[in-house]
């Protein structure tokens, strides 16, 4: 897709330090290395958000994520590993092509605090109601 930097990387029109690639996915070093070993994994197809991924591409993408995560653990021996994917401006998505971050962590590095403060536990009845709503929106497998 024209104007998408990740599509340009996939097509070889933009440089990238490639880590892994197969027919469905490409992994390359993030330009911003807050901790050494921060890798982005993208589908080759231009898809903007996670919910747009067809099942076969989703499976291949996350197989690549697992391979990269293993390599990051082997090479950098981090104290931990964060794996995340953001959708939409409100979630912090800056490049509108699905991408998964594989981010090695160091104890006390101060990155990626999910909650400013831990929210209170929800009542079981509320959780059950939300689960029913979500189950109804998930299609049955073929």
Of 103, 98, 124, 125, nearest to 114 by C-alpha is 103
**Contacts for 106 with CB less than 8 Å, ≥ 6 apart:** 35, 78, 79
Residue 74 is a catalytic residue: no
Q: What is the DSSP letter of 77?
A: -
Per the residue annotation, which of 46, 74, 97, 99 is the catalytic one? 99
Residues 68, 85, 14, 58, CA torsion sign: positive
- Residue recorded with tokens 């964060």: 82
Q: Which residues are catalytic?
A: 99
């Amino acid at each position: 897709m024209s104007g998408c930097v990740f599509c340009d990387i996939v097509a070889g029109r933009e440089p990238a330090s490639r880590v892994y690639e197969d027919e469905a996915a490409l992994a390359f070093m993030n330009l911003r290395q807050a901790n050494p070993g921060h890798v982005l994994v993208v589908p080759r197809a231009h898809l903007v958000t996670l919910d747009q991924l067809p099942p076969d591409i989703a499976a291949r993408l996350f197989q690549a994520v697992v391979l990269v995560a293993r390599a990051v653990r082997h090479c950098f021996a981090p104290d931990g590993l964060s794996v995340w994917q953001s959708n939409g401006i409100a979630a912090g998505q800056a490049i509108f092509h699905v991408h998964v971050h594989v981010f090695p962590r160091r104890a006390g590095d101060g990155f990626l605090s999910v909650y400013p403060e831990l929210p209170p536990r929800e009542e079981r009845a509320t959780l059950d109601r939300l689960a029913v709503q979500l189950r109804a929106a998930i299609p049955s497998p073929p």
